[in-house]
Every structure is written in C-alpha cells, then in structure tokens.
C-alpha cells in the first residue's frame, strides 16, 4: 500500500465525524423535536418525530455505533412510527385540532424540563471528570459482533449483560401476552 | 491525473470506494447506479407492458417506435407535461413530500447493494439490516400519501398497505435471519451482516444458500420471495392499489410528475428487494459453479457471456428488422430498429473485445475492469430473472382478498419461517 493510499484511508475515516455534521444533525433533531410538540396536526407531529429519529440515527453513526443506528431505523422510524401514523390517521384531525386541551399538566412538564436541563448542565460542567477523555477507537467492522458478545457471551461463558437481556425479553413477552389478552376477550 | 482519482484505482486490493474513503469514486458509483436504475425502470416499464400484452394475446404498444420501444420515453414526456393537480382539500405540504419519501427510501438502499466484491458504493457492517430498515421506510410514503389526499380510496389503500407491510415484514425478517445464520458456519463461528460478506460466505462454503441444508434454504428463500412481493405492493398482493376496488388506491389523487415518482419508487424498490434475494440466496455476483470450474479457461469462457448476451439481443433486433412489413409506412421504424440493432451489436463487440483484452492484459486495472463487468453482469442477470417473475406473477395470479392476505401472512408464512429458523439453528449446531 503506497503512502497516498494510506492517507486516503485515514482521510476516509476522519471526515465522517466532523463538527459540521454534528451541528447539522443536532440542529435538525432539535428543530424537528420542537415541531413535534408545536404542530397542532397530529400527522405533522408524527412526521417531525420521524425526522428527529433519523437525525439521531445519524448521530449514532457518528459515534461509530452502526448497529444501534440500524436498529433505530428498523424499529423506531420504520415500525413504531408506522403504527403511530396508522392510529393517528383514524383520528378525526379536524375535530381534534379544534378541541381545547383539557389536561393542564404544564407545571409537571416544566419541572421535568428543568430537571433535565440541570442534568445536562451538570454533565456539561463536570464532563471531563465523568467521561473518558477520548473514545476507544472501536473497529467499525466488528461492532455487531461486539454487541453480540456482550449480550450472549462467547465460548460457552455468559456475557456481561446476558441476564439483563433475558429479563428484558421476559418483560416484553409479558407485555405481548397482556396485549393479546386485553384485546381478545375470548381466547 | 489528480491523486484523489488515481489513488483508488491504484490500490492493490479490491475494495469499495466507501471502504477506501474515496468520495470521488463513491459519487461516480452513485451516478452510475442512479442512471442504471433509471434506465432499468424504463426498460422494465416497456417489458411489463409488452410481456403482459403477450400473456393476454395482445400486441401491446406498437405505435411509438418499432415494437413500441420508444413508449417509455413518450410516457415520461407525457407525465412531465401533464398538469400536476393538488386537490384543494388535501394537506398541501404532506401531499407534496409523500412521493419523495418513497423515492428516497427506494434509492438510498442502493448504497449497499453488492454488484461485486468491490462494485458497491460502500460495504457496511450492518448492510442487510440497513437495507431492510430503509426499504421499510418506503411504506411511510404510501401511508402519508393516502392520508394527505384527504379522500376515501387513498386512505383505505394506505391503511391496507401499512397493515400488509407490517405483517409481511415479520416473516421476511425471520427468513433473512435464517440466511444470516448460515453465514456463521465457518471455522471462526461468527457470521456477518455485511452484504458483501454474505456473498463471500457463500463462496467460502461453496454453496448458494438456497441449496444449503436442503430444503431449509429453499424454504426460507420461498418465504422471502413471497414476502417481497407483498412488501413492494405488486400483484397478487397489490391490495394498496387494487384498481377494481379502490380506483388506484393510495395514488388516486396524484397526477403528472408526482405520480410518476411513485411509479419510479415502486420499480426501484422491486429491483432493490430482488437484489437482497439474489445476494442472500442466489450467490450474488458469483457465476455458476465458481469453485468447480475455476480454471483460467473457464474464466475466459464465462467472461464472454456479457458480450454474447448483447449479441443475442442484437440478433433479435435484426430479425425484427427483417420481419418488418415491406410497406413504405414502416420505413422509418425499420431504419430505427436497424440502428438500435447496430447499437446493441456494437455494445456486444465492445464487451467481447474487453473480455479478450482483459484476458491477456497484465495491468491490474484492465483485469479488474474486465472482472468487474463479469460480476455486475451475473448479478444483474439474476436480478433480471426476478423482475421477469414479477411480471409473470402479475399476469398469472388473481388478486388476493384482504383477509386471505392477512391469514397467509400471519398463520402460514410466520410459523413456517419461525420453524425454518429454529431447524436451521439446530442443524447448524449439529454440523459445526
């Protein structure tokens, strides 16, 4: 491999994570996130939420976490948002947009937002102490494999998170069964 | 030549532009793929009308150009000039953006389609997940279009489409997982999700996954092949646009250019899912028997195939020219077809020359180019078979009723694909 090729390879890896990309994606996520709660039309909100999710997918990719990004597209943007739209489309939009909001929970929302802001500020202020200085350069080519090793373990040993993973699956199973039993009165 | 152009070409090991970090060549590949897919969609449009007509003992388009060959261009021109109506009661912005969602989802997928070991825009570690995920975004375009039209038929079409896609995606995903499981049957015991990696795993194991663990691979493939028709809303599962029930389903209110974008997205998505099937089960870019017949002589014989295919097409066009009626009315058509045949013949000659020259060439660039043509040819040929099957299905089978469609999706396809997955896993453990 000649030096030019080497520089091309390193140049190819580096520019993906430029600050410019981050600001575009983060700005997109924030703007569409605001649109989600300000649009009166529920379908517009859902579309804005999809844009938010896709922007966050881009951020995951910038963090060299392609598997999480793919799952984000597959599960959230593809599956869950489709079901959201499915339900929203059956709602009478014109009536619901004229209806006055009856749940006055904005004090709770404000408190939650303040708490989150405080968390962000403290994380930003003490970030140096909380997080490692630089991320370990994970090889992109074995990202999925590493996640699998953490979840399922390798060579007969249990993985770091096998137990938590199984518990989560059990919870999901219970939720599915609950949904089936609630919708189908007679099984 | 500038360094950013040559550095990718000079690299010794064949890798994709994405892996080499060459933005320039990645862009070139993107343009080639975009142009290729657009041409393929046009050709498919003509072929579908022609083949359907012949299935039904009609002639199909005959007036615009010889044997209607210029019909797609005429159609495209008509659609571009046609008035683009947005209904007054429609949601303007969403109506405007819906076709673009479908189109984007259909075309983004092409970044990871492996036309060859280095003939792809990029090789992602999550290739197959990316493909399935992004192509599942395409349904958002349909759903949103149906809603934004603010009309009954489109809304029903959109609801049907979303229900259908969600149901068939499950079986499709499980079939894909059983193919991915087969990639892990090597010494290391780790599989891969990368599209190129999946094809290379088939090469290493010396068998297309459709024949692996017979009949498990075949079953998974059949499930995928059925689910992919439902995913792309094609007959006999075209419930979303069932014209006898819903006028035109989700795109009833669309006209002109926007409607043509829906068509483009549908055909591009068809090519994309066919490519998944080809890459996962039919050996991707590999020619028949690459491990058995691997002598240089066989390499040469198989590298002649692209040229010979075009030669055959040219011969068909020449026969068509000769069989044109001798009336003076057909003079221009006759000349046109002759020119088309000559063009095909020239392409055939060019490909044959490249095949012969690439054989004796020592420079890695010429040999790589020659190899690349071979890879792309076999991949495209396999995809083309699927595209013809899409037309064949449409001509052969009547449309399903919606409850039958759901019943098949949940009560037949899902249990079978789950069973295939479990049995594949068990057999894989026993074998390894």
Rounded to whole angstroms, the Cα distance separating B3 from B26 reads 15
Q: How big is the A-B interface in CB pairs under 8 Å?
A: 105
A8·B4 Cβ contact <8 A: yes
Does residue B384 belong to any structural domain of this protein? yes
Tell me which of A185 and B60 has the higher pLDDT: B60
Whether A85 has its CB under 8 Å from any CB of chain B: the answer is: yes
CA distance B193 to chain A (A): 8
- Which residue in chain A has the smallest CA separation from B14? A1
User: Which residues contact residue B374 at a Cβ distance below 8 angstroms, ignoring those fewer than 6 apart?
Assistant: B287, B302, B303, B305, B306
A66·B139 Cβ contact <8 A: no
Residue B54 structural domain: 18-286+374-431
- Which residue in chain A has the smallest CA separation from B97? A47
pLDDT digits over A25-78, tens only? 999 999 999 998 888 778 888 889 999 999 999 888 887 788 888 888 888 887
Band of the pLDDT at A112, cuts 50, 70, 90?
very high
A8·B20 Cβ contact <8 A: yes
* Interface predicted TM-score (ipTM): 0.80
Dihedral sign, Cα of residue B394, residue B400, residue B404, residue B406: positive
pLDDT for res B303: 82
What is the C-alpha radius of gyration for chain B, rounded to an integer number of angstroms? Answer: 23
CA distance B84 to chain A (A): 23
pLDDT for res A109: 85
All structural domains of chain A with their residue ranges: 15-99, 138-187
Does residue B294 belong to any structural domain of this protein? no
Whether A129 has its CB under 8 Å from any CB of chain B: the answer is: no
A167-178 b/e (C-beta count within 10 Å ≥ 16 → b) = eeeeeeeeeeee
B21·A10 Cβ contact <8 A: yes
DSSP string spanning B293-344? S-SHHHHHHHHTHHHHHHHHHHHHHHHHHHHS--SGGGHHHHHHHHHHHHHH
CA distance B107 to chain A (A): 16
DSSP string spanning B15-29? --HHHHT-HHHHHHH
DSSP string spanning B76-101? HHHHHHS-----TTS-HHHHHHHHHH
pLDDT for res A172: 94
* Architecture in CATH of A15-99: Up-down Bundle (1.20)
pLDDT for res A97: 63
Which parts of chain B have pLDDT scores under 50? none
First to last CA, chain A: 66
Tell me which of B41 and A146 has the higher pLDDT: B41
Does residue B230 belong to any structural domain of this protein? yes
Does residue B156 belong to any structural domain of this protein? yes
Does residue B232 belong to any structural domain of this protein? yes
- Which residue in chain A has the smallest CA separation from B123? A141
Rounded to whole angstroms, the Cα distance separating A32 from A38 reads 10
Band of the pLDDT at A7, cuts 50, 70, 90?
very low
- Taking only residues 14 to 73 of chain A, the set having a beta carbon closer than 8 angstroms to any beta carbon of chain B reads 41, 43-44, 47, 50, 66-67, 69-71, 73
Rounded to whole angstroms, the Cα distance separating A112 from A91 reads 29
B55-85 b/e (C-beta count within 10 Å ≥ 16 → b) = eeeeebbeeebbbbbbbbeebbeebeeeeee
Does residue B13 belong to any structural domain of this protein? no
- Residue of A10, A21, A49, A89 to mutate, testing the B interface (most B Cβ within 10 Å of its Cβ): A89
- pTM reported for the whole predicted model: 0.85
- Which residue in chain A has the smallest CA separation from B154? A89
Report helix angle B256-281 to B364-396, nearest 10.
Answer: 110
User: Which residues contact residue B408 at a Cβ distance below 8 angstroms, ignoring those fewer than 6 apart?
Assistant: B400
Whether B193 has its CB under 8 Å from any CB of chain A: the answer is: yes
Rounded to whole angstroms, the Cα distance separating A77 from A73 reads 5
B20·A12 Cβ contact <8 A: yes
pLDDT for res B431: 83
Does residue B63 belong to any structural domain of this protein? yes
pLDDT for res A99: 66
**Given A12, A78, A83, which is nearest B136 (Cβ)?**
A78
Question: What does the DSSP 8-state code read for residue B432?
Answer: -
Whether A147 has its CB under 8 Å from any CB of chain B: the answer is: no
Whether B309 has its CB under 8 Å from any CB of chain A: the answer is: no
**Given A12, A67, A141, which is nearest B21 (Cβ)?**
A12
Rounded to whole angstroms, the Cα distance separating A76 from A73 reads 6
Does residue B352 belong to any structural domain of this protein? no
Whether B19 has its CB under 8 Å from any CB of chain A: the answer is: yes
Q: How many residues does chain A have?
A: 187
Reported as type and span, the H/E element at residue B136 is helix B127-148
Please report residues of B whose CB lies closer than 8 A to that of A82. 136, 139-140, 143, 162, 165-166
pLDDT for res B419: 93
Reported as type and span, the H/E element at residue B422 is helix B414-431
pLDDT for res B151: 82
Rounded to whole angstroms, the Cα distance separating B428 from B415 reads 20
CB atoms closer than 10 angstroms to residue A99: 10
Whether B220 has its CB under 8 Å from any CB of chain A: the answer is: no
User: Which residues contact residue B170 at a Cβ distance below 8 angstroms, ignoring those fewer than 6 apart?
Assistant: B409, B414, B417
SS3 content of chain B, % helix, strand, coil (to 5): 75, 0, 25
Give the tokens for residue A185.
């009165």
Q: Is the pLDDT of residue A118 over 90?
A: yes
Domains identified in chain B, total number: 1
A1·B12 Cβ contact <8 A: yes
């Amino acid at each position: 491999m000649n030096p030019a090729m080497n520089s091309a390879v390193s140049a190819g890896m580096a520019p993906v994570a430029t600050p410019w990309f981050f600001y575009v994606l983060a700005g997109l996520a924030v703007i569409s996130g605001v649109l989600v709660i300000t649009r009166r039309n529920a379908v517009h909100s859902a579309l804005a939420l999809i844009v938010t999710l896709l922007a966050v997918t881009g951020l995951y990719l910038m963090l060299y976490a392609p598997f999480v990004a793919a799952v984000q597209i597959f599960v959230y943007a593809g599956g869950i948002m489709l079901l959201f739209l499915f339900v929203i489309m059956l709602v009478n939009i014109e009536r619901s947009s004229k209806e006055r909001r009856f749940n006055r929970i904005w004090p709770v929302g404000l408190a939650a937002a303040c708490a989150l802001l405080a968390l962000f500020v403290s994380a930003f202020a003490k970030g140096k102490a909380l997080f490692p200085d630089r991320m370990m350069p994970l090889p992109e080519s074995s990202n999925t494999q590493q996640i699998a090793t953490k979840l399922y373990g390798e060579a007969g040993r249990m993985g770091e998170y096998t137990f938590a993973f199984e518990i989560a699956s059990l919870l999901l199973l219970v939720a599915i069964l609950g949904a089936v039993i609630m919708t189908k009165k007679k099984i | 030549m500038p360094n950013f152009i040559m550095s990718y070409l000079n690299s010794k090991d064949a890798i994709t532009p994405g892996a080499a970090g060459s933005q320039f060549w990645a862009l070139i590949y993107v343009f080639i793929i975009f142009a290729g897919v657009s041409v393929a969609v046009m050709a498919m449009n003509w072929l579908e009308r022609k083949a359907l007509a012949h299935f039904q003992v009609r002639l199909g388009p005959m007036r615009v150009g010889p044997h209607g060959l210029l019909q797609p261009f005429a159609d495209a021109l008509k659609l571009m000039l046609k008035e683009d109506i947005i209904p007054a009661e429609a949601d303007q912005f969403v109506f405007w953006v819906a076709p673009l969602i479908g189109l984007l989802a259909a075309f983004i997928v092409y970044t990871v389609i492996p036309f060859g070991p280095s003939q792809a825009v990029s090789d992602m570690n999550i290739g197959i997940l990316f493909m399935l995920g992004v192509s599942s975004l395409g349904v958002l375009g349909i759903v949103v279009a149906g809603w934004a039209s603010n009309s009954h038929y489109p809304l029903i079409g959109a609801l049907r489409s979303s229900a259908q896609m969600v149901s068939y995606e499950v079986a499709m995903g499980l079939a894909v997982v059983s193919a991915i499981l087969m990639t892990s049957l090597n010494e290391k015991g780790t599989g891969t999700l990368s599209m190129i990696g999946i094809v290379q795993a088939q090469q290493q194991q010396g068998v297309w996954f459709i024949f692996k663990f017979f009949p498990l691979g075949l079953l998974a493939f059949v499930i995928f092949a059925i689910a992919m028709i439902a995913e792309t809303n094609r007959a006999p599962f075209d419930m979303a646009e069932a014209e006898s029930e819903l006028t035109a389903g989700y795109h009833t209110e669309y006209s002109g250019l926007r409607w043509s974008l829906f068509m483009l997205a549908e055909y591009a998505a068809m090519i994309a899912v066919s490519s998944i099937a080809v890459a996962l089960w039919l050996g991707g870019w590999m020619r028949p028997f690459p491990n058995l017949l691997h002598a240089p002589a066989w390499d040469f014989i198989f590298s002649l195939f692209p040229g010979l295919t075009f030669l055959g097409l040219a011969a068909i066009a020449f026969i068509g020219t000769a069989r044109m009626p001798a009336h003076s009315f057909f003079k221009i058509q006759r000349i046109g077809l002759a020119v088309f045949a000559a063009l095909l013949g020239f392409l055939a000659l060019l490909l044959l020359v490249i095949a012969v020259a690439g054989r004796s060439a020592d420079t890695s660039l010429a040999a790589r180019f020659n190899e690349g043509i071979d890879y792309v040819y076999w991949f495209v040929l396999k995809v083309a078979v699927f595209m013809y099957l899409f037309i064949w299905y449409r001509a052969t089978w009547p449309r399903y009723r919606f409850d039958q469609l759901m019943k098949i999706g949940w009560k037949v396809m899902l249990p079978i694909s789950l069973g295939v997955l479990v049995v594949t896993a068990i057999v894989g453990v026993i074998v390894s």
